[in-house]
Amino acid sequence: MKKISYLFILVMAMLFGTASSARAQTDTFSDPNVDYSFGVPDAKWKMTTKPSQTSPNVEYVYGDKIDGHLEVRRLTVAKDAVLSDIIQNEDQKLRFRPGFVAGKQEQFTGKLRGAIFNFEYVAAGKSMSGRFYFMRANPTTVYILRFTGQKDALRSIQNQTDSMARTFSVSSTT
* pTM (global) more than 0.75: yes
The answer to whether residue 12 is domain-embedded is: no
The answer to whether residue 13 is domain-embedded is: no
Burial-class residue 111 by CB neighbours within 10 Å (0-12, 13-18, 19+): middle
Q: Are 120 and 132 in contact (CB under 8 A)?
A: no
Number of domains in the chain: 1
The answer to whether residue 14 is domain-embedded is: no
Alpha helices in the chain (DSSP H): 2-24, 83-94, 151-156, 158-166
Domain that includes residue 112, residue range? 26-170
One digit per residue, the tens of pLDDT, for the chain of length 174 reads 555 555 455 444 444 443 443 445 579 999 999 999 999 999 999 999 999 989 889 999 999 999 999 999 999 999 989 999 999 999 999 999 999 999 989 999 999 999 999 999 999 899 999 999 999 999 999 999 999 999 999 999 999 999 999 999 998 644
Give me the CATH number covering residue 164.
Answer: 3.40.1000.10
